[in-house]
């Protein structure tokens, strides 16, 4: 037993099994991923809204919406934006950035292997340096807005405690498309359904 390789199995809603130590692109279904992201919460699950925290699925859709409103993206580039945090849906863990260095190189390698499997599964193009910078600007800006309108930080605290310098945008980028109250977190069921619909649409449009 001592010579067995390390493994970390997860059983997914579809019944498939995913070994986080050795993932392959065929280990999960689109529904598994959408459900995982809808049940993985940002901001440690803390929320000023009474019904639900903010899911990574909803955050991912918001980043995609802002990016394609700013610049013309191919379907493959849009899909890459949608899936930028997809590994978190397979781990069911969204670690806040300041803690990541404390998790060590093993966790970073695990996340990297999952990301590589995701890129293979969905035929995603590699990031260029310029694309990655543009993505991070939006990702951080969304974090600033979420901090205020979902997690309950003040704008001053966002700058002084969280050290996020991006402007806090008042408008919810998803409201024009989906309606509802600005910045209100969706239930996991709604988030999974909307994420899966966008994933399916973009997957069909990607060569």
What DSSP line would sit under 46-91, residue for residue? --SSSS---BHHHHHHHHHHHHHHHS---HHHHHHHHTTTHHHHHH
Would residue 2 count as lying in a domain? Answer: no
Res 155: pLDDT? 96
The tens digit of pLDDT for each residue in 54-96 reads: 999 999 999 999 999 999 999 999 999 999 999 999 999 888 7
Would residue 141 count as lying in a domain? Answer: yes
Mapped onto helix, strand or coil, the DSSP state of residue 161 is coil
H or E segment at 158? helix 155-160
Would residue 71 count as lying in a domain? Answer: yes
Burial of 106 (0-12, 13-18, 19+ CB in 10 A): exposed
> CATH code at 115?
1.10.3210.10
Would residue 125 count as lying in a domain? Answer: yes
Check pLDDT > 90 for residue 38.
Answer: yes
Burial of 193 (0-12, 13-18, 19+ CB in 10 A): middle
Res 94: pLDDT? 87
Check pLDDT > 90 for residue 2.
Answer: no
H or E segment at 25? none
Please state, in angstroms and rounded to a whole number, the distance separating the CA atoms of residues 54 and 46. 8
The tally of domains found in the chain comes to 1
**Count of CB atoms within 10 A of residue 184's CB?**
17
Would residue 5 count as lying in a domain? Answer: no
Beta bridge partners of residue 9, listed in sequence order:
19
Q: What does the mean pLDDT of the chain come to?
A: 94
Would residue 4 count as lying in a domain? Answer: no
Rounded to the nearest 5°, which phi and psi values hold at 9? -80, 140
Would residue 31 count as lying in a domain? Answer: yes
Q: Supply the range of the domain harboring residue 93.
A: 26-205
Rounded to the nearest 5°, which phi and psi values hold at 90? -85, -30
Contacting residues for 147 by C-beta, under 8 A, at least 6 apart: 43, 153, 157, 158, 162, 164, 168
Q: Which two tokens stand for residue 55?
A: 């899911």
Mean pLDDT on 24-47: 96
The tens digit of pLDDT for each residue in 119-130 reads: 999 999 999 999
């Amino acid at each position: 037993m001592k010579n067995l390789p390390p493994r970390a199995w997860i059983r997914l809603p579809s019944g498939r099994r995913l070994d986080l130590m050795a993932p392959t692109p065929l280990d999960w279904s689109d529904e598994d991923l959408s459900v995982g992201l809808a049940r993985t919460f940002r901001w440690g699950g803390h929320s000023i809204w009474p019904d639900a925290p903010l899911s990574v699925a909803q955050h991912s859709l918001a980043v995609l919406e802002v990016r394609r409103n700013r610049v013309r993206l191919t379907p493959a580039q849009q899909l890459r934006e949608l899936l930028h945090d997809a590994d978190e849906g397979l781990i069911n863990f969204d670690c806040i950035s300041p803690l990541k260095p404390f998790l060590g190189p093993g966790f970073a390698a695990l996340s990297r292997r999952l990301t590589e499997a995701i890129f293979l599964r969905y035929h995603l193009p590699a990031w260029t340096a310029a694309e990655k910078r543009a993505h991070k600007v939006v990702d951080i800006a969304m974090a600033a807005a979420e901090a205020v309108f979902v997690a309950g930080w003040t704008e001053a605290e966002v700058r002084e405690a969280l050290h996020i310098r991006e402007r806090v945008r008042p408008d919810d980028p998803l409201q024009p498309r989906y309606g509802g109250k600005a910045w209100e977190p969706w239930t996991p069921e709604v988030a999974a359904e909307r994420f899966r619909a966008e994933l399916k649409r973009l997957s069909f449009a990607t060569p």
